[in-house]
Structures are given as C-alpha cells and as structure tokens.
C-alpha cells in the first residue's frame, strides 16, 4: 500500500498501556496508518502471559492474544522507574501527537505522567486515558476491567442473562474493545482540534461509561417498567427472541415491526389461522400474552431444522439470523468475503486466524499487516530515531534501562 493512502499517515502515537482496552485503541490507529510506539516495562505487557487462561499459546514465537491487540506497532521496553528510562519516555513524547495509557491516575501522577503534569511541558500533546469508572466519584481509583467495570457494574451481565438463571460467564475483552474504539474516536476529534489550533487535549473514556452507553435503551426504558433481565419465553415482542430448531440449533427472530410482519410470519410457519387471532395480531394485544404465542411458535420451530427455516425466512424477506458460535465464525463465508478475518504466520511457522479491526476506508484499503513486536524488539531502532548514539544505546542496555 502506498503510504500516501494511509488515513493517519504522519500521526505519532506513544502507548504506555497493558491488557486490551487501550492497546486495542492504538491498534485501530496503527491499522489506519499512525506510527505507534508501544512502551512496555522490562517484563512486558501482562497480556503476554494471559494465553494459558484461555487455552491459547503464549510463547515469544506464537502469542495470539498479544498479537490481536498489538500488530502494526513498534515496540520498546523501558524501565521508566529509572531516571534515564524516564528521559527516554519524555523524548518519545516530545515527538508524539498522542499519548495513550490505561495506567491508573494515581500511578501516572506518581511517575509525572498525568495530564496536568504534561500539558505545559508538551502543549500540543493529546493525552488519552482509558479509565475504569471515571474521573470522579467513590470508585475513581478502583482498578477496572471489562469483567468488573463493564459487565458487572455496567449492568450488562445482569441484563443479558436468562431471567431466573445465573449470570453468564462473560466474553473476555468484549467491553475493552468497544471502549478502545470509543477512545479512538475521541482522539480523532482531538487531532482535528490539534490540527486547527496546535493545542493538545485530555481525552478520557471509562469502561463503566462505555457499558452505560451501550445499555442506554434499556436504562432509559427501565424508568417506565421495562425491566431487565427478560426471559426468552416472555419477551417484549414474541417475534424478537430466540427459538430452537428441530436440529438443536438456534435462531434469532427480529420482527421489530410486529404488526407489519406478523401475517407474513404466520404464513412461513404454516399457521395462517393465527393471522386473525385478536390476542396475537397486534403488538398492543400480544404484550399481554407473549408467553402463549412463544409457546406456539416454539412447537412450530421444532418441525424444521435451522437451514430449512433460514431458507423460508429469507424467501419471505423477514429479519432473522442463525446463532453462530465462535467456531462457526472461523468458517463464516461472510466474514472471509469482507476480510474481517485474516491468516497470519507466526515466527515458529504456525498459522493462525486473527480478527481485523473494524472501520474501512474506500481509498486506503487494508494496510499490510506487520506482526506485533517481541518484547523490546525495536528498542534500538526507536532510540536511534530520536537521537541516541550506538554507544548510548549500549549503555542503556548494559545498565538494564532498556531491553
């Protein structure tokens, strides 16, 4: 790809972050053409050692969990607790447009890296910060992960469970990725300001707020009696729930315009006798007996397998979708046709599949993928680019300031 086509060509980003949310933000920016330097401690980003929890490789030569969040970046490993290490970080920030971190505010301030400490020193720098719970309130200093701040405190787990059962064991990194995308959007707005005024900005996004934003429709309507969680057997709309098919697989109906689509659906399931049934044929009536209609539809859906129902619903042009597992997605024709998935070869020769970042640009296309950096892989190259001599680099390495 020609560099001129990269949307964020010339934008320099320094990342001091771990795990998923903030690194996924800079991964988006790297995919869009920004020059991202990932700064790690000498022991590395903690996610390098998380693969075992998810039955995934976590060696230096094959580490998919780290790879997913950190491809297309350059990497340097620095001991920023050392004065000379901090000097290196400040030199990187001198040349940067954006600083992205998820370090807690107290620790940032202790290291001299909070926004208030940097804004005068680097007036054009955009200071982008992923938080757990926000900048104020009793939880502002509490550590936050998507399991806790997003799924638990944000009401997601309790809203998405089947009513009367236990909360689901949530999908790791789910909330992190949406927070990362949201922070990237905020950074782009700040870059626009920076281009116009030359001034930096503080950009924050909390996992907790990201959850509230995602749950906005449900939080708003809860004031009026729309209580979560719901049972799939007693939904707000009996044609907006899941049904099991005859082969044991599941289908999601999404007949949002109930009055319009109910007659057509009745024909699909060969129950035209229901079309004039006054208890069921309008949304205002059916809300009083949703469980009855769900019970009827359940029995009908068991008469055919998922593929048969899919063909009939597609022919009727009714909105639905099969419920895919993550293993189904690895073989999903739609995902591969749009390059939402891609294959990569690790340095040990093994091949794996990764998910590409969303958002596409017509003229840019998809940037060629560069594997995530091994720990400290580009330290010397990065230091040389900011003016360090070979002797100075060797001294830093020998004294344990860099890896």
- Residues forming the active site: 176
> Environment class of residue 57 by beta-carbon count within 10 Å: exposed (0-12), middle (13-18) or buried (19+)?
middle
Residue tagged 């700040």 (tokens): 190
Give the span between the Cα atoms of 211 and 215, in whole angstroms: 6
Q: DSSP letters along 208-233, please?
A: HHHHHHHTHHHHHHHTTT--SS-BTT
CA-to-CA separations, 165 to 158, 161, 211, 360, 403, in angstroms, rounded: 10, 7, 22, 39, 49
Which residues of 12-164 form beta strands (DSSP E)? 12-16, 35-40, 74-77, 98-101, 126-131
How far apart are the C-alpha atoms of 101 and 348, rounded to whole Å?
A: 31
**Pair of tokens at residue 126:** 């955009």
- Pairing type for strands 242-244 and 126-131 reads unpaired
């Amino acid at each position: 790809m020609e560099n001129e086509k990269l949307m964020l060509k010339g934008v320099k980003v320094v990342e001091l972050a771990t795990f998923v949310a903030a690194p996924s933000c800079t991964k988006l920016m790297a995919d869009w053409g920004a020059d991202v330097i990932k700064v790690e401690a000498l022991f590395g980003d903690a996610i390098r050692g998380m693969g075992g929890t998810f039955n995934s490789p976590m060696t230096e030569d094959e580490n998919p969990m780290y790879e997913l969040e950190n491809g297309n970046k350059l990497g340097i490993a620095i001991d920023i607790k050392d004065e000379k290490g901090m000097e290196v970080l400040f030199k990187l920030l001198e040349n940067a447009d954006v600083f992205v971190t998820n370090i807690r505010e107290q620790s940032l301030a202790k290291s001299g890296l909070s926004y208030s400490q940097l804004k005068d020193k680097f007036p054009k720098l955009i200071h982008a910060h992923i938080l757990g719970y926000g900048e104020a309130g009793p939880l502002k200093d509490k550590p936050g992960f998507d399991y806790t701040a997003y799924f638990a405190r944000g009401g997601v787990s309790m809203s998405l469970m089947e009513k009367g059962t236990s909360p689901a064991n949530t999908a790791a990194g789910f909330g992190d990725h949406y927070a990362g995308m949201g922070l990237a959007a905020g950074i782009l707005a700040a870059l626009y300001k920076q281009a116009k005024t030359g001034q930096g900005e503080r950009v924050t996004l909390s996992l907790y707020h990201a959850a509230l934003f995602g749950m906005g429709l449900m939080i708003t309507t809860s004031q009026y009696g729309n209580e979560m969680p719901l049972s799939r057997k007693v939904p707000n709309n009996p044609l907006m729930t899941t049904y099991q098919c005859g082969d044991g697989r599941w289908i999601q109906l999404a007949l949002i315009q109930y009055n319009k689509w109910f007659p057509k659906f009745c024909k699909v399931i060969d129950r035209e006798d229901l079309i004039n049934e006054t208890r069921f044929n309008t949304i205002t009536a059916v809300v009083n007996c949703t469980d009855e209609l769900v019970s009827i539809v359940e029995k009908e859906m068991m008469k055919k397998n998922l593929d048969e129902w899919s063909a009939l619903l597609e022919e009727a042009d009714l909105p639905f979708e099969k419920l895919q597992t993550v293993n189904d997605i690895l073989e999903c024709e739609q995902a591969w046709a749009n390059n939402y998935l891609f294959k990569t070869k690790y340095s040990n020769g093994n091949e794996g599949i990764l998910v590409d970042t969303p958002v596409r640009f017509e003229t840019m296309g998809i940037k060629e993928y560069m594997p995530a950096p091994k720990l400290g892989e580009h330290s010397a190259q990065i230091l040389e680019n900011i003016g360090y001599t070979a002797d100075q680099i060797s001294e830093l390495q020998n004294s344990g300031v860099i890896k």
